[in-house]
Amino acid sequence: RDAGVDVFTSGNHIWAKREIYPVLEDQSAPLIRPLNYPPGTPGRGIHRDGDVAVVNLIGRTFMGDSVDCPFRSIDAALEQLAGVSVIIVDLHAEATSEKIAMGHYLDGRVSAVVGTHTHVPTADTRVLPGGTAYVSDLGMVGATNSVLGMEYEPVLQRFLTQLPSRWDPVKTGPAMFNSVFVTVDDSGRATAIERIDREVPA
């Protein structure tokens, strides 16, 4: 929070380190996991701060995990959030079609639908007819000279040999910062969305 971050969303890799489980269970921690994991899963999928809420979902197409329907899950979440003006939905998903469908499904019902997971920023920022800002993928914050933030040699070996390899994040060199800036009016309807992408020198 000292860095100005109000909430972290997450995705399928949130379960890779068991050390994160107690943080997920801490209701005061600014970290949420996809809402549509089954009941009993550590953590929560909604962060609310006054008149602003963030909902984290995970897609089902090509993702591998057995999760509840993200479309039905967001319907239930919006019932809980009745009266909240600004609602931002992060759909962590592989398939662009699933993310675009969610954008149209929620158009006029939430302030923004932003896709994550692929690490690659998309050029389809727009405000949908009902006033929901949309982008298929935000991109990532990570090393520029990498494969999705990872050292490229082990990744290349995996592609070349099909053998397992350990992937480690690149820790030095320039970094890319991908993001969007969404403007909303007093009712929570989006009036603009723009990409803000920067390269941070080493």
Q: What is the pLDDT of residues 123-134, one digit of tens each?
A: 999 999 999 999
User: Which pTM does this prediction carry?
Assistant: 0.94
Express each pLDDT in 60-95 by its tens digit: 999 988 899 999 999 999 999 999 999 999 999 999
Domain 12-142 listed as CATH 3.60.21.10: yes
**Averaged pLDDT for residues 115-119:** 97
Q: What is the pLDDT of residue 4?
A: 84
Q: Which residues are identified as catalytic?
A: 13
Check whether 146 has a pLDDT greater than 80. Answer: yes
* DSSP one-letter string for the chain: -TTS---B---GGGGS-GGGHHHHH-TTSSB---TTSPTT-SS-SEEEETTEEEEEEE--TTT------HHHHHHHHHHHTTT-SEEEEEEE-S-HHHHHHHHHHHBTTBSEEEEESSSS--S--EE-TTS-EEES----EEESSSBTTB-HHHHHHHHHH-------B--SS-EEEEEEEEEE-TTS-EEEEEEEEEEE--
Domain boundaries, given as residue ranges, for the chain = 12-142
Express each pLDDT in 2-28 by its tens digit: 778 899 999 999 999 999 999 999 998
What proportion of the chain, given as a percentage, has pLDDT over 90? 95
